[in-house]
Structure 1
Amino acid sequence: MLLLGPFVNGLAIIIGGSLGLIFTFIPEHMKDSILKAQGLVVIGLGIQMISASTDVIITLLSLIIGVVIGEILDLEGRLNGVGHWLEFKLGDKNAGNISQGLVSGSMIFIIGAMGIVGGLDAGMRGDNTVFYTKSFMDFFIALVMTTTYGLGVIISGIPAFLYEALITLGAKGFAQFIPESVLSTMTKQVSATGGVIIFAIGLNMMNVTKTRVGNMIPAIFVAMIAVYIISLF
């Protein structure tokens, strides 16, 4: 089954988040400490991913162009809009801070090398090992995040599945046209670009900044396109 990996990952997020709803009784000061500890780990992960960059200039240009596109499209505003609509439909009492959970959860679960590498492995070689490993990690991340952000984290399992399914199907289609060496460089560069965004998410979780990380999403795809264009010359 081609999309088994993305399906398992999405399901792990939903199940982990659902269990997290049970632990909402955790004291606020403990939740804050857990969230900040998680933020520090996310920052560390971002730094590790940034170090994978093969070309800092490409990373910088990808982020600049991506942010401009994201700001014009107001991607974070649209994600927040979906969350607020769900809050209205479900009611604040049951929904929690859905918009913040949806945005934060989507960013954490979508952005990163594992989702990209997992999609490439599943699409090109039919190997879901990376996805299974990511699912194990995301299960516990969703459990902890849901105690703070609520139902939005659980819902973020859906865009995570769709994103990874898209990468898997895309890899299946274009693998025959792109040399494996280019795909390797592309993955590293996208990982570095995503690392900057992950770093920004960690700072937001620490309440150090209020970066509109949703508007940075296009930078990932700009990095992929940039690497491919450069490989043609």
Structure 2
Amino acid sequence: MALYGTLVNGILIILGTLLGLFFTKIPERYKETVMHGIGLAVILIGLQMAFSTDSIIVVLLSLLTGAIIGEFFHVEEGLNRLGNWIGSKFVSKNKNFSVAEGFVTASLIFVIGAMSVIGALDSGLRGDHEVLITKGVIDGFVALVLTTTLGFGVIFSVIPVVVYQGGIALLATQIERWIPDAFLNGLIVELTAVGGLLIVAIGLNLLKIVQIRVGNLLPSILTVVLIYYIYQLFI
């Protein structure tokens, strides 16, 4: 089943979030240091992904066009409104927790990245769910820690994770009919690099070094497809 890996990933996020709800009384200094550790690890993962690029110009143009589109359509603001709307349907016992922040932060961490794309493609193309299941274990642990600091809004990140990865997996079952293997492999490399830089931005936000509107950079995940196609026409 093409969606098996995606569903396991989603279930592990839910389990991690539910476990995290039992550890919300951990002293703040522990939470802060743990979040710093996660932030550093996220930056490392992002840099490893970003260094995989074979063409920095594709990555740069993808980020530039994605940023323009994201700012024009106020993507980050829309994500926050969605998170606040979801939060308005629930009452948090801890007023220090922001449902919107938990939803948006967790969604960006879980959705953006090579494992999401490659794992979903493996599920759809080859019926191999190992990558997504491995990602699910990592996501579940991260969800547990994020929940202790950002609250139960983290659990709603399951929605974009399942929709995004499930969509790719279903599309992948038909993608070989439309896209040559050589082009697809090259595109995944550049998509991984762009996603890696967005993950670095998330890490910087978690460390509170700078506040980057990562949501407004998300369209670069889509524009990289067009930029890479045009790039291939001229090389």
Normalising by the smaller structure, the TM-score range is over 0.9
Asked if the contact 2:61–2:227 (Cα under 8 Å) also holds between the matched residues in 1, the reply is: no
User: 2: distance between equivalents of 1:203 and 1:76?
Assistant: 16
Quote the offset at 1:184 in angstroms.
1.1
Query: Which residue does 1:154 correspond to in 2?
Result: 155
Match of 2:131 in 1: 130
Contact 2:98 2:150 in 1 (8 A): yes
Identity, % of aligned pairs? 44
Instruction: Determine the C-alpha separation between the residues in 1 that align with 2:4 and 2:214.
Output: 29
Partners in 1 of 2:175 and 2:210 — Cα distance?
38
String of CA shifts for 1:127-162, please: whole Å, max 9, x gaps.
111111111111101111110111111110111111
* CA distance in 2 between partners of 1:133 and 1:158 (Å): 19
Give the Cα separation in 1 of the matches to 2:92 and 2:10. 24
1:86 CA drift (Å): 2.3
Q: Which residue of 1 aligns with 2:14?
A: 14
CA distance in 2, matches of 1:181, 1:143: 39
What is the deviation of 1:94? 6.0
Which residue number in structure 2 is paired with residue 59 of structure 1?
A: 59
Partner of 2:184: 183
Match of 2:72 in 1: 72
- Cα RMSD (Å) of the superposition? 1.3
Runs of 4+ in 1 over 6 A off after TM superposition: none
TM-aligned CA deviation for residue 232 of structure 1: 4.8
The CA deviation at 1:87 is 2.3
Distance 1:30 1:41, change over 3 A: same
Cα distance in 2, alignment partners of residues 19 and 202 from structure 1: 23
Tell me the number of residue pairs that the alignment of Structure 1 and Structure 2 aligns.
233
- The normalised TM-score by structure 2 is 0.95
Alignment of 1:3 onto 2:3 = yes
d(CA) in 2 for partners of 1:182 and 1:94? Answer: 49
For residues 102-130 of structure 1, what are the alpha-carbon distances to aligned partners after superposition, in whole Å with 9 as ceiling and x for unaligned?
Answer: 11101100000011001111111111111
Alignment of 1:1-233 (within 5 A): 1-93=1-93, 96-232=97-233
Q: Which runs of 5+ in 2 are unaligned?
A: none
Q: Which amino acid aligns with 2:65?
A: I
Contact 2:17/2:144 (<8 A) preserved: yes
Contact 2:15 2:140 (8 Å CA) reproduced? yes
Secondary structure, counterpart of 1:64 in structure 2 = helix
Report how far residue 228 of structure 1 moved: 3.1
Alignment gaps of 5+ in structure 1: none
Rounded Cα–Cα distance in structure 2 between residues aligned with 1:229 and 1:10: 35
Distance in 1 between residues matched to 2:233 and 2:181, nearest whole Å = 14
Instruction: Name the CA distance, whole Å, in 1 between partners of 2:89 and 2:173.
Output: 38
1:60-106 CA deviation, whole Å, 9 max, x = no partner? Answer: 00001001111111111111111112222212426831111111101
